[in-house]
Structure 1
Amino acid sequence: MMIANIPDRDRLPHALYRAEQVRALDRLAIDEQGIPGRELMERAGRALYRLMRARWSQARRPVVLSGVGNNGGDGYVVARLALEDGLLVRVLQLGDPDRLTGDAASAHADYCSAGGLVEPFCGAPLRADLVIDALLGTGLERPVEGVWATAIAAINEQHAPVVAVDIPSGLHSDTGQVMGVAVRATATLSFIGLKQGLFIGEGPQYRGDCVFSGLEIPALIYARERLSMRRIDWPQQCTMIAPRSQTTHKGDCGHILVVGGAPGMSGAARLAGEAALRSGAGLVTVATHLEHARWLNLTRPELMVAGVESPADLVPLIERADVVALGPGLGRSGWGLDLWRAIKEVARPLVVDADALNALASEPLAREDWILTPHPGEAGRLLGMGTVEIQADRLAAVQALQSRYGGIAVLKGAGTLIQGDPSRPPAVCSDGNPGMATAGSGDVLTGVLAALIGQGLDLESAALAGVCLHAAAGDRAAREGERGMVAGDIVAALRAVANRIEVN
């Protein structure tokens, strides 16, 4: 069989959909374009088989775990193709095969007619060099239990690569929440439309490498469904940062005022300031506590530093600034709260982070010209709920943040979410890595966002591009290993990434 090239992550679509939307697209392809459902299932199975043979060409003993829905039908197509190629394929059926209907029943019959055997799943360890998860599809709405949970556990306990059909079984297609237990896939091949749950919640942890096949559905079909989310990444967003003119001077690139750095937390303000410089800001002033104002810029003399004892000291600094980044290392003492109260309504674009967000939770305020950058714990305080609730439905959380506080909401974490104008779909960044879960990473993002606003981007564009720039710099820094990364490594990578310089 001819093996086609399989697209990599950078060629994934940027449109994301809810499960019900993808089912609607599927129906439109069948009803209006006249593509038989059985043909779409055949295309899906063939795409899966091409992926198998392209990436794991040495696998000779694949095991397909099949359910009783259309995912199971896709699995039977894969099994038939493997059988025809002479592989020692096994199909383990969960659920009564008599419950297979329509196209799935037809695919099952074709596999059996080709000489394939079907075994009931009995809970025994899987003996395979490749596993195909064709158990549960996108319609899952309740926790996985019983034999289905046992089968998922068996998949996760064995050591062979796992390919998930459309979505890992047990993962909610819309929220990315694990419904009790879910398959940890090596790769997931998603069909027709990318499911948003693959990129939010716990989706990135369970999907493995995400691959897409549109099953040759005509492009005009997609115009009938408004995407529910946007996937963003640095290759897409880097075009937002235009090359500099030959006559550019520092005043054209924005003067950023970073306010923070209570006693013992000067590093946060320093990281934000340096990140702003490395992201292209023309001037950066750090307004910080008198205790360390004299030495904060000793190893980064390009930073201007102003010691601040009271809000009155901020007045001339704000007058000179184009953007204010408020919160890195601000602390929760009277000093930090006084600065927050002095700045929260100034007529400058704000980037609000860290303890400034905690102050906002205590003294709620809405405005349109700010970017809020909470992590899940801070988001919980802003919305009056627990971190677990935030993580269970991150999409709802970021939308609630924007609705309550205005401006642009950036919910940090694996799959950082951005919600700006509510008339536009929210965005999720697919760049980044676990090495970025380190102290100071959020302070770096604050500086990046402020710098892009200072260079002329509107707040939503700055949020989209800045989150991706920050994540891409984190990915560059992680080339030397995720474990042990520090925020300064991300800062060090910003310049090359912002200038699109590839360094081996």
Structure 2
Amino acid sequence: MKLSSNRHLPRNLYTPEQVKNSEKWAAQQQGLSLFELMQKAGEAIFELIENCFFKEKTLCILLGKGNNAGDGFVVARLAHAAGWHVELATMPGCQSWSGEAQQALAQLPDRVHFKNAESCDFSSFSVIVDAVFGIGLNKIVKPEWSVIFDAVNQAGRLVISADVPSGLNAHTGDVMVNAIKATHTVTFIALKSGLFTADAGDYCGEIHFAPLDVAQHVEKANQAYFRLLQLSEQKFYFKPRARNSHKGQFGRLLCIGGDRGMSGAIRIAAEGALRAGAGTVSVITHPDNVVQVSQGRPELMVYGVNGVTTEAKTLMQQADAIVIGPGLGRSGWANGLMQIACELEQNKVVDADALHWLAEHAVKKNNWILTPHPGEAGVLLQQSSSHIQHDRYAAAQQIQARYGGVCILKGHGSLIASSLDTSVCQAGNPGMASGGMGDLLAGICGAFIAQGFAPTLAAELAVVVHAQAGDEAAKQGERGMIASDLMPFVRQCVNQAIES
């Protein structure tokens, strides 16, 4: 059975409910029983184990009480036949099984030993297989189970999770109090939405996909509301420009922000827009900031305005697209500029302080990109940021439904929610958790809508370019990385088609 890994995963993501509801039908369409499907799942896990080199072939399989345990029994049988020393560690209250799991148990040889997980020394094994929950978890992990998960995580051994790391919500990516940190996750039949956002990055390890010969039937039976952004596909949109080109063809972008004493954010956004290919970039900022914004970047046309002046209105009307919010503040100066910007028909990117204005005024537009981090998303939905992180998919979709346009919910597994679906970006790294990164993203978004990309596509391209640039910059180390470090790599990313 061939496993697909991180770089070659399918595009569509599904909820665990979708997979669960169509699993039996999909198996029938392929002429398989659920027990045969379980056999294939166990084989996929053991295939991964066999592909790793271990001096000592000692295997512990951590068992729950559902069909995920059945996958573990299949692995145990195959490993024992291949000469591994296998022990089965049962979670508290999980000493009996039924259905397909019982069938798989009946095929085990007598020499496979059972023990209680509470007394297991996980560090004495080469490999630990997590076959506890799978996609079935819908409540917080019990304290006595959490202690066992901690023991597995502290053992320092290679851990392979069956389908989904136990304790991770397969739909949202939220950890239900505690979860097993896998080195590898082998997920079956279809990719689950929770494997790619929120806490998932710290728990899934490398993700492998095993279709079990039925994936095509599950796709046929379900609509995919979520999808992975395929980084390679973005190159199509960055083809070489015509030789007979001029700056007017690539958009006039206006960036608005930088109240008194806050020049940095709007400067980063504006320079990011230049590096992402905007034809011209103008900046409206507080008069005190003109020198700071323009210094060292003479390509920017910087205007210091005292509120909603005739000059400011003219600049807004002449722009092909507008970015508003970085360093905008929440003063009367900011409120007036935001109100006028909202009345204009140009495509817009609304970021940072402008999102706070939007939360108070609840305007809905179909031609803007909103770029909240979890805290700003909480303001937009009148929820706490922790509540947002518990279900990032729902939050992104609710913001889009309430305010229109496209919502980019930033964070691990950034989400881009439109009226049609939600896409997820796998790229990016923790080094990007520093001030100014969001301003840079806003500028890149603005550059793309100014160049004529529709808001949804502009948002997806911007998130991918931003994340890829961050990953390139992080090759010199994540800690201490700043937004300005990404600038040369933004330029590199939007020239990929030329370079390849």
- Sort the TM-score into its range (normalised by shorter chain): over 0.9
Shift, 1:465, TM fit:
1.4
- 5+ unaligned residues in a row in structure 2: which ranges? none
Q: Which residue identity lines up with residue 365 of structure 1 in the other structure? A: V
State how far apart, in whole Å, the 2-side matches of 1:220 and 1:239 are. 30
Q: What's the offset of the Cα at 1:338?
A: 2.0
Distance 1:243 1:27, change over 3 A: farther
User: One-letter code of the match for 2:234?
Assistant: Q
Q: Quickly say closer, same or farther: Cα 1:99–1:228, change in 2 above 3 A.
A: farther
Normalising by structure 1, we get a TM-score of: 0.94
Deviation at 1:162, TM superposition (A): 1.1
How far off its partner does 1:6 sit?
A: 4.3
Distance 1:401 1:59 in 2: 52
Question: Partners in 2 of 1:56 and 1:301 — Cα distance?
Answer: 57
The 5-angstrom pairing of residues 8-47 of structure 1 reads 8-47=5-44
Distance 1:243 1:41 in 2: 49
| Matched residue, 1:349 | 347
Flag structure 1 segments of 5+ consecutive residues without an equivalent: none
Q: How does 1:406-425 map to 2 (within 5 A)?
A: 406-421=404-419, 424-425=420-421
**Which residue pairs with 2:462 in the alignment?**
466
The 1:148–1:335 alpha-carbon spacing in structure 2 relative to 1, beyond 3 Å, is: same
**Residue aligning to 1:315:** 313
Partner of 1:294, secondary structure, is helix
Question: 1:158-173 counterparts in 2 under 5 A?
Answer: 158-173=155-170
Q: Does residue 143 of the first structure (1) align with residue 140 of the second (2)?
A: yes
Q: Quote how far apart the aligned CAs of 1:63 are.
A: 1.3
**For residues 159 and 16 of structure 1, what CA distance do their matches in structure 2 show?**
31
Q: Is the contact made by 2:167 and 2:175 (CA closer than 8 Å) also made in structure 1?
A: yes
Can you list the C-alpha shifts for 1:297-336, whole angstroms capped at 9, x where unaligned? 2211211111112211312212321000001111122222
2:139, 2:218 → 1: CA distance?
A: 30
2:387 aligned to which of 364, 386, 389:
389
Deviation at 1:270, TM superposition (A): 0.8
Q: 1:337 aligns with which of 335, 338, 346?
A: 335
> In the TM superposition, what whole-angstrom CA distance separates every residue of 1:406-455 from its partner, at most 9, and x where no partner exists?
1111111111111112xx22111111111110100000000111111111
Q: Which whole-Å CA distance do the structure 1 matches of 2:98 and 2:483 have between them?
A: 54
Of the structure 1 ranges 470-479 and 215-224, higher mean CA displacement relative to structure 2 is found in 215-224
Contact 2:169 2:175 in 1 (8 A): yes
Instruction: Tell me the amino acid that sits aligned with residue 468 of structure 1.
Output: V
Residue 129 (structure 1) shift? 2.0
d(CA) in 1 for partners of 2:2, 2:35: 24
SS of structure 1 residue aligned to 2:219: helix
Structure 1 residue 149: deviation in Å? 2.4
Structure-1 residue corresponding to 2:432: 436
**What is the deviation of 1:279?**
0.8
CA contact (8 A) 1:324 1:350 kept: yes
Q: Which residue identity does 2:440 align to in structure 1?
A: V
C-alpha contact 1:59 1:130 (8 A) present in aligned 2: no
Structure 1 partner of 2:362: 364
Identity, % of aligned positions: 40
2:257 — aligned with what?
Answer: 260
SS in 2 for 1:351: strand
Q: How far apart in 2 are the matches of 1:172 and 1:221?
A: 20
The residue type equivalent to 1:54 in the other structure is N
Distance in 2 (alpha carbons) for counterparts of 1:235 and 1:451: 20
The code of the aligned residue for 2:332 comes to G
Paired with 1:158 and 1:244, the residues of 2 have a C-alpha distance of: 54
What letter matches 1:168 in structure 2?
Answer: P
How much does 1:58 deviate?
Answer: 4.1
TM-score (norm 2): 0.95
For residues 94 and 425 of structure 1, the distance between their equivalents in structure 2, rounded to whole angstroms, comes to 38
Offset of residue 354 of structure 1 = 0.5
Counterpart check, 1:198 vs 2:195: yes
CA deviation vs aligned residue, 1:153-191 (integer Å, no higher than 9, x gap): 211121112111100101111111211211111111110
TM-aligned CA distance change 1:7 to 1:335, over 3 Å: same
* Deviation by residue 1:381-423 (Cα, 9 ceiling, x = unmatched): 11111111111111111111111111111111111111112xx
Q: Which residue matches 1:327?
A: 325
Contact 1:271/1:440 (<8 A) preserved: yes
**Aligned residue type for 2:10:** P
Contact 1:5 1:54 (C-alpha < 8 Å) held by counterparts = no
Aligned to 1:451: 447
Separation (CA, whole Å) in 1 of partners of 2:497 and 2:491: 8
For residue 496 of structure 2, give the secondary structure of its aligned residue in structure 1: coil
Q: Distance in 2 between matches of 1:488 and 1:52?
A: 42
- For residue 500 of structure 1, what is the amino acid of its counterpart? Q
Moved more, 144-153 or 476-485: 144-153
SS at match of 2:109: helix
Distance 1:457 1:502 in 2: 19
- In 2, distance between residues paired with 1:378 and 1:147? 36
Residues matched between the structures, number: 497
32 and 403 in structure 1: CA distance in 2 versus 1, 3 angstrom threshold: same
Out of 292, 297, 300, the position equivalent to 1:300 is 297
Asked whether 1:482 is paired with 2:469, we answer no
Q: How many angstroms apart in 2 are the aligned matches of 1:429 and 1:480?
A: 22
SS at match of 2:38: helix
How many angstroms apart in 2 are the aligned matches of 1:344 and 1:249? Answer: 29
Give how far 1:295 is off: 4.3
User: Is 2:48 the counterpart of 1:51?
Assistant: yes
Match of 1:120 among 116, 119, 122: 116
Tell me the SS of whatever aligns to 2:475: helix
Deviations 1:117-171 (A, max 9, x none): 2223233431222211111121111111154323212111211121111001011
**CA–CA distance in structure 1, aligned partners of residues 149 and 292 of structure 2:** 56
CA–CA distance in 2 between the matches of 1:178 and 1:97?
22
User: Which of 210, 214, 218 is the aligned partner of 1:213?
Assistant: 210
Distance in 2 between residues matched to 1:476 and 1:502, nearest whole Å:
18
The answer to which of 11-20 and 219-228 deviates more is: 219-228
What is the CA-CA distance between 1:502 and the residue it aligns to?
A: 11
Equivalent pair of 1:25/1:192 in contact (CA under 8 Å): no
Question: What is the aligned counterpart of 2:231 among 234, 240, 243?
Answer: 234
Tell me the distance in 2 between the aligned counterparts of 1:105 and 1:167: 21
Task: Say if 1:56 and 1:24 are closer, same or farther in 2 by CA, change over 3 A.
Answer: farther
Q: Is the 8 A contact 2:273 2:281 kept in 1?
A: yes
Q: Does 2:247 match 1:246? A: no
Secondary structure class of the residue paired with 1:89? strand
Instruction: From the superposition, tell whether residues 323 and 246 of structure 1 become closer, same or farther in structure 2 (CA, over 3 Å).
Output: same
Distance (whole Å) between structure 2 residues aligned to residue 289 and residue 146 of structure 1: 54
1:278-289 mapped onto 2 (5 Å cutoff): 278-289=275-286
Deviations 1:334-388 (A, max 9, x none): 2222211221221211100001111111222111111111111111111111111
> How many Å separate the matches in 2 of 1:5 and 1:100?
29
SS, match of residue 465 in structure 1: helix
Equivalent position SS for 1:272: helix
Q: Report the Cα distance in structure 2 between the residues aligned to 1:221 and 1:261, rounded to whole angstroms.
A: 50
CA 1:145/1:29 → structure 2, altered by over 3 Å: closer, same or farther? Answer: same
In structure 2, relative to structure 1, the CA distance for the partners of 1:59 and 1:429 (3 Å cut) is farther
- Of stretches 400-409 and 27-36 in structure 1, the one that deviates more from structure 2 is 27-36
Shift of 1:202: 1.5
Q: Which amino acid aligns with 2:322?
A: V
Distance in 2 (alpha carbons) for counterparts of 1:407 and 1:119: 55
